[in-house]
Amino acid sequence: MSYTVSGQTVLPDTAKLIRWMEASLPYTGKDFKKQDSLLQLAADGAREQGNYLYLMRIQHLRGAFYLERNELVKSTAWMKNAIQTGIAHDLTADVSYRDAVSFLVLVYTTRNMVDSGLAWIIPHKQFCRQAGDDFNYSVLQTQEAINRRDQWSPAQLEALYDSAITLAAGTPSPHDNVMAIYNKSFFLKMEGKRDWSRSLETLLSLAPMLDDPALNTNAEKCWRRIPFWFRGARAAVYVEMASSFFNLQDFDNACYYMRLVADEFRRKQRHAYLPLVLGTVGEYETFRNNQAVVRHIYDTCKLLLAKSPGNGEMHIPSFFYIAGWLQEQQQQYAAAIASYKKAAEMADGEFHVAQLALLRCYGKTAAFKEGNALIPVINKQLQSSFTLCSPVLLEKELADYYQQCHAPQLAAAHRLDYYRLKDSLSQAVRYVQVKQIETKFQVSEKDRLIALAKKEKELQEKQLQQQRIQVLLLAAALVLLLLTALAIYRVYLQKKQQATILAQKNSQIETLIKELHHRVKNNLQVVSSLLALQSNRLEDETARQAMEEGRTRVDAMAMIHQRLYVDKELASVDIEDYLQNLSSSLAGSFGFDPATVSTEILLPQSGMMDIDRAIPIGLIVNELVTNAFKHAFKGITDPRISVMLTQVDNQLTLQVADNGNGLAGEMTSPTSSFGMKLVHTLVNQLDASLHIRQENGSKFIIKLAA
């Protein structure tokens, strides 16, 4: 039996793995413990099934979740597990393996582990090129550009970004192309030429692409491919737009685009990350001095953080910054200073506008010692910062600060620097250029939203019409169903009578079969007892041993019929339980500890085997284990025998091995003894093959079709 999942036919066990993986998705950012437990169930199930392709995907998905939580060390470990699974089980040709390597490189880049990232990027790019995998090749081109930013020239880096854009344009998903262009715009602004105008132009060239409805969802399913985790292009573009306008001190547009990011997060129900987005909106709103709006954003963030899995603990500098700003407006300077310090600490040594607010509060409270110590720290941080407006804002704060320090000459000098930098930032050419580009983008975005609303309305009307047709069809089907039900009910009454009679007959047959197995078992035990009595009377050791061997063979068959009589199954036996009891019985009869024999059964089904196979296999194990106890352990202090029955694909393998002295070649030939004759006869009966090896003892390997 098979199932169809998203148009793909899968086996029942695989369908179970898929359900666990998909069930874990809604818990992202909400219940990490529940999410981990579902993925652990899926991973354990994949191992039990030997489904290593899905195990690799599950480990990849888990690594992606840990990256979302910013737990980078755990994310790295899970990605390495996924890659090792792919290598160990010869899955390197599958696209899921290439996805896992690309994601590991992404994690290394996030951790700024340049050498580790490049060590994977260089060989894997060639691998992706040979496989024709444009998606992963594009991702690796971008990752290489980021990792080589301190090694290569801006022109060389830009060539890598352009190559990534060309490759992404050839993939089916529009997310890939948008993200590749977005990455280049980020490079132009931050890491490369610091050309803000060209960066904005590159970003705004994405406007026609943002109309694509495919950006609203991810076609890929998490159980089929994990790269859907790279998706979410529209929000990333809006974030970059907001940042660009903020640095141009266009705070109105900065707030507008950041609110679009919040709308995207709400639409995708990524509520756990809303505090981070809203905190940035609040940070931008402080520069518009709208205290009521900032207060509302702060209260909303506080409420969302309280509901988050981290009990309200999240490293969001902007959250503490807006808290300090509100406290400063209320002239609660001590509390404001504490909040600003907290925001600065969470920035991990990077510049944050909280530093400027902190300097402002030091000036207002005449804490000039602390303010003088903070100024060189801010200057040092701004040397490595790519922001445009922060130096302008710093000069403004320094002018006010030195005015409060009663240093009018320094205040005047910084005031002049403030106007000079502000004029440089707002030069007419750049201002007109950005405004023109921004206007085109807003018009395009407005048209896109109108068209999208129109499409949604048409879709709703079409769905409503389909629902009406479905209701009419359902009513007709219901009438037909009632008529059919009456006819079926009459047939049901007749069938019920027949089923009752048939059930009674089946019960009688089952009872008779069980009784038959019981009698066969009893008869075999009588034969075994007679052989035991006869062997006790024999004085010839060879004859007595022959009798004993014959008795163990009869006992092996009797044990089969005992299981068939006791169990519910009438034509098959639990082979694992049977072999364990058989080997324990043989060990006891030869005076050995039952723990001497270990059995391991690795079968894909429940371990039940039909009697036509179970009896020959049991007799073979009986002969080989008996042979080992009789001949193999002379002088061996710690005798061990292992019995292993496994199935790989459509082949069963029975292996009986001991750590004894080994057998001479002639003793293993089909004519060496009656026992070996019987083994070879049973092997032929099973249409199997027998291989004998002498490796630290004797090893008998029998292979047959499953």
Q: What is the pLDDT of residues 255-268, one digit of tens each?
A: 998 998 888 888 77
pLDDT of residue 570: 58
Look at the domain 575-705 and name its fold.
Heat Shock Protein 90 (3.30.565)
pLDDT of residue 490: 82
pLDDT above 80: residue 566: no
What does the domain layout of the chain look like in residue ranges?
Answer: 465-570, 575-705
**How would you label 269-298 residue by residue, b for 16+ Cβ within 10 Å and e otherwise?**
ebebbbbbbbbbbbbbbbbeeeeeebbebb
The one-character DSSP state at 189 is I
Rounded Cα gap, residues 559 and 517, in angstroms: 10
**Which CA distances in Å does 321 have to 209, 346, 356, 357?**
35, 10, 11, 8
Rounded Cα gap, residues 392 and 403, in angstroms: 17
pLDDT above 70: residue 442: no
Query: Which tokens is 618 given?
Result: 């049991």
Average pLDDT over residues 286-308: 87
The one-character DSSP state at 244 is H
Amino acid at 467: Q
The proportion of the chain whose per-residue pLDDT surpasses 90, expressed as a percent, equals 25
Name which of 66-80, 311-325, 358-372, 555-569 the model is least confident about.
555-569
pLDDT above 50: residue 631: yes
Q: How far is CA 497 from the centre of its chain?
A: 53
pLDDT of residue 336: 93
What confidence tier does 4 reach under pLDDT thresholds 50, 70, 90?
very low
**Which CA distances in Å does 374 have to 71, 359, 371, 379?**
31, 7, 5, 9
Average pLDDT over residues 309-330: 80
Most confident stretch, 121-135, 225-239, 604-618, 668-682: 121-135
Query: Which tokens is 681 given?
Result: 């006869």
What confidence tier does 6 reach under pLDDT thresholds 50, 70, 90?
very low
Query: Which tokens is 703 given?
Result: 């292979």
Query: Which tokens is 19 given?
Result: 């359900």
pLDDT of residue 518: 60
What are the backbone angles phi and psi of residue 568, rounded to the nearest 5°? -70, -35
Rounded Cα gap, residues 140 and 146, in angstroms: 10
pLDDT of residue 432: 39
Name which of 109-123, 161-175, 202-216, 612-626 the model is least confident about.
202-216
Could you read off the pLDDT of 638-666 as tens digits, one per residue?
899 999 999 888 899 999 999 988 765 55
What are the backbone angles phi and psi of residue 702, rounded to the nearest 5°? -120, 125
What confidence tier does 491 reach under pLDDT thresholds 50, 70, 90?
confident
pLDDT above 80: residue 141: yes
Query: Per-residue DSSP letters for 471-530?
Result: HHHHHHHHHHHHHHHHHHHHHHHHHHHHHHHHHHHHHHHHHHHHHHHHHHHHHHHHHHHH
Rounded Cα gap, residues 185 and 179, in angstroms: 10
Could you read off the pLDDT of 206-230 as tens digits, one per residue?
777 777 777 776 666 777 777 655 4
**Of 84, 98, 14, 19, the residue nearest 54 (C-alpha):** 14
651-658/689-694 β-pairing? unpaired
Rounded Cα gap, residues 660 and 650, in angstroms: 32
What confidence tier does 425 reach under pLDDT thresholds 50, 70, 90?
low
DSSP 3-state assignment of 661? coil
pLDDT of residue 650: 86
pLDDT above 60: residue 313: no
pLDDT of residue 333: 92
Average pLDDT over residues 308-316: 61
Residues 6 or more apart whose CB falls under 8 angstroms from that of 474 comprise: none
Q: What is the 3-state secondary structure (H, E, C) of 34-82?
A: HHHHHHHHHHHHHHHHCCHHHHHHHHHHHHHHHHHCCCHHHHHHHHHHH
What confidence tier does 138 reach under pLDDT thresholds 50, 70, 90?
very high
- CB atoms inside a 10 Å sphere around CB 92: 13
Name which of 16-30, 98-112, 438-452, 557-571 the model is least confident about.
557-571
What confidence tier does 426 reach under pLDDT thresholds 50, 70, 90?
low
Most confident stretch, 348-357, 445-454, 540-549: 348-357
Name which of 32-46, 488-502, 610-624 the model is least confident about.
488-502
